Amino acid sequence: MFALFDLDDTLHDKTASLKVCADVIYTEFLFDLAVNRDEFTASFLSENCIIQPKAQVFDILAQGYSLDISLKTAMFHFFDTQFHTFSKRFDHVIETMDFLKSENVRLACVTNGRDFFQRNKIEALGLANYFDVIVTSGELGVKKPNPLIFNTALEQLGAQAKECIFIGDSLTADMLPAKQLGMKTVWVNRVNPIRSKPDYVDAKLESYSQFVDIWQQLA
């Protein structure tokens, strides 16, 4: 079997990492300005969770808080070069990776985002050595849900879709395209655990403490 993972909000606790990063950016760059810390953290989080280019995130923040271009540029540079250092894993992710390795499962990470940015996070999260294959939309030039990015991972793994389980948090970008290609699907859903799963999701995972049981049912 092969396991393919999304990164953000699947292995990487993006919200937790963004909160810490927002706090550091505030202290570094905005402390002396008439900007409210909580308000800044909230807009930093919401802009970074919208699917839009990161340059646009910082344009919007600069506009909203009347920051000049040099400050905006410095903040953006700090974010690009330092964000990975704030990266947090969800609980039991390392145990999950160790379990899969002990079962001789080959692993891929299939993630949307700029190549250096995603790879820095994978490294900082301590996950780089677990992945046999890493495919980023930044490198490939197409994003999930485009089947090309999934097929690239399959090709690099030397796997067929029916031998794969895809683990991800997005129904539209991860679960549906993976199922359409013939993979099994595990939906990481912490946000709203009572939400029922669509028929293209084979299993729902609220915590990685459930992973071994789910894997053994599906593999």
Any contact of residue 13 with Mg ion (CB under 5 A)?
no
Quick one: which of 8, 13, 47, 202 contacts Mg ion (CB under 5 A)?
8
Site string for Mg ion, 45-84 (x = CB under 5 A): ----------------------------------------
Quick one: which of 2, 3, 5, 6 contacts Mg ion (CB under 5 A)?
6
Closer CB to Mg ion, residue 5 or residue 40? Answer: 5
Task: Report in angstroms how near the CB of residue 87 gets to Mg ion at its nearest.
Answer: 14
Q: Looking only at residues 136 through 195 of this chain, which bind Mg ion when binding is defined by CB under 5 A?
A: 169
| Chain centroid, CA 141 distance in Å | 17
Distance between CA atoms of residues 14 and 67, nearest Å = 25
Quick one: which of 2, 4, 5, 9 contacts Mg ion (CB under 5 A)?
9
Output the six-digit token pair for 155. 């090709």
Q: Are 47 and 57 in contact (CB under 8 A)?
A: yes
| Binding-site size, Mg ion (CB under 5 A) | 4
Closer CB to Mg ion, residue 102 or residue 192? Answer: 192
**At 219, is the secondary structure helix, strand, or coil?**
coil
For 148-178, what is the HEC assignment?
HHHHHHHHHHCCCHHHEEEEECCHHHHHHHH
CA dist list (Å): 200 to 177, 180, 207 = 9, 8, 20
What is the contact surface with Mg ion in residues (CB under 5 A)?
6, 8-9, 169
